[in-house]
Each structure stands twice: as C-alpha cells, then as structure tokens.
Chains A and B, each alone.
Chain A
C-alpha cells in the first residue's frame, strides 16, 4: 500500500505509452449491445398460492459438512457434501461460522410500489443478512419478487450486466450470476410465488456466493 502517493505523482510516472496502449485496447473492445442469455426459465406455473410468510432458511459458512452438494458450481471452494443443513431461520438467531458470524437476519418491509412497470415487480419479501468477521461487516440483501415479473426483470438485468450471466447455485436451486460494474447480483428463478434477487453493496462476489450457496428457500 502506498497511501500518500498523490495522483500528481502518478501522472509523473513514465507510463505514457502504457496509458495510450490501454486506451487503444479498450476502444477496440466491442461496446456491449443488449443481449439475451439463453437459459431455461423455470415456469411461473410453479407458483403456489400466496404464501404469506417468507420461508427462507439460511445455512451459513461453517464446516465442510454444511456445504451444499453442488456448491462447486458457484466458484466457491467446496467439496461434495450433504444437503445444506438448516442452522437457523431468517428470523434472527446468531450463527457461528468459520470466518463469519451472522449477527442478524432481518425481515425488512418490502419497498413501496413505485408505479409503472416496476409495480408488478416490487418486492414481496426482503431480508438483510449481516455477517461480521474480526475485521469488518457485510450486509447481504435478499429480495423476493412476484414470480410473474421474473422474465421481464431478468431481461432488464441482463441488458445492464457487464457480461453474460453464468449459472450458479442460489438458495438451493439453479440460478444465475450477473455482474454490474464489478458488483454481483444473484438471481434465483421462481419457486412458489416469487423469485429472489441476492446482492450486496459491500460483500465481495465470493461472500455473496457463499451465503447464497448455503441458503435455501423453505418449501
């Protein structure tokens, strides 16, 4: 770390050619166009009638035995293991983990409808999971949205993403990982009456994947 190296000092570094070369390289990179990632979209018909309560069970970073069997697909180190073992409900017990401790999980009030097309996709459930380590805290937010909004919302997310979506494990089922400006958003397709969006403003991709890979939605 070189904390007090100012931008002026950086500007004086002999990087003129490298600066120009990188600019030329980037400009040769095709600008993104709207794209549609071919995926098998779960049928919204899988919708059960309105379940009033968020049935989200969180299993969290812990021993290898707690890891989801297909977590390797998330890119997080994992070995084969049994089905994730629920440790706590989202309603808020403390959970210990190897590196992280969940301080709380909190159901939050869904945002109010903003009108227009967004009204159909407004969250019907939301939860914040705060994890803490010796050094810092992370908040991961899960938003459940109406199942019927999934297709439209997904296309919108894909259009904004930096790169095509990649398959990952999210809340116990096959989902998608999208990147926006280096930020990671995970999407779990519809189950029952809703689909889930998982993201964080401060957790890294690995941390979001670790949490989402160990959490599942209760039936």
Chain B
C-alpha cells in the first residue's frame, strides 16, 4: 500500500489493474456468461474482504487466479454460490457473449490436443499458455511446491508436443499492457 492510501483506494487500484484478467481467466474456463460473471464478482469480493492478504504489484495476479480457480472449481462441482453482487455484469456480459465468441481465435489444433491430456496437465498448461504464467507463479495459483509443478509442466508440455508434433507456443498475453495500466 502506498503512503496515505486508504483501503478503498488500494482496492480500487487492484480492481482496475486486474479486473480484465480475472474476467478473462473466468471466461476462458466457463461455457456460460453468467458463470464467468459470478466467478469474477465472487473473486473480487474475496479480494476486498482479504485485501490485507493480497500481495502487492504483479504478485497479486497469481493470488487472484488462485482464488478464481477455487471459485470456479466449486462452481463446476455444482456448489455455485450465486453472489448478490454483479447483476449488471451478468446482464452486460450476457449481451456481449456472442461478441466474445466472434473474437476467439480458434486454434482448434492446440485446444483439441490439450483436451486429450489429463485434467491436471490441462490446468498447468492453461496457466502457462493461456495466462502466460511462469512456473513459480503457477505454484502460487495451485498452492503447490515447485517440485511438483515444474515436472508436471514439463511432462504436460512434452505430451502436448508429442500430440502436435511441435513445441506449443504461449498465447500472446498482455502482461506488459497490464503492468502499464497498473503504473498509470
């Protein structure tokens, strides 16, 4: 927290800097707009409640992804806790959903190959390829030690490489863009 920054100001800074990333993380892992909106609202509400525990700077991103991952996991297992928040987001995202579908760059080869991997391999690869996270950041998201994550990522990449016949390339992800936005 910067000098004289109130709790509200710090959260607003976090929110502005990471909203799109959290929403994007949720959209990339859900089929329905309302699920993505709910997961985003709940994740950011948790961040507000637990603001003292949210790391500063870019380290906040893996922390938020870790929360979003658990929120989504509970959603997928039918434990959806629809928050009272975010009605406007639910509505507007539903309206924009067809537009979302049009913007997707369908690299079906890669997506199809990933879907042939185990769920664990898919998850670690998605964090690496879709979110552009380094192994240490993946550890933060999954709450697992590097000794577990690094070999898992290595194996997953090797399996995907076997399926594709080439090295999978990370999806271009706007980390620099986000950093710029945070500094502003």
Contacts and interface: CB of A to CB of B under 8 A. Distances in A.
26 contacts: A2-B104, A3-B171, A4-B104, A4-B105, A4-B111, A7-B24, A9-B24, A9-B100, A12-B103, A13-B96, A22-B41, A22-B44, A22-B88, A23-B12, A25-B86, A26-B11, A26-B41, A27-B12, A29-B85, A31-B7, A75-B79, A181-B50, A181-B70, A182-B74, A201-B142, A204-B79
Interface string A48-63: 0000000000000000
Nearest 5 Cβ contacts at the A-B interface: A182-B70, A201-B143, A136-B119, A18-B92, A21-B88
Contacts of A182: 42-43, 46, 67, 70-71, 74
B96 A15 contact: yes
Contact of A202 (B11, B74, B142): B142
B50 A17 contact: no
Range of interface residues on A (Cβ < 8 Å): 35 or more
Interface of A: 1-15, 17-19, 21-23, 25-27, 29, 31-32, 75, 135-137, 160, 162, 180-183, 201-202, 204-207
Given A4-B105, A10-B23, A15 B89 contact: yes
B73 interface: yes
Interface residues of B, number: 70
A181 B119 CA distance: 22
B118 A135 contact: yes
B31 interface: yes
A204 B171 CA distance: 28
A201 B123 CA distance: 14
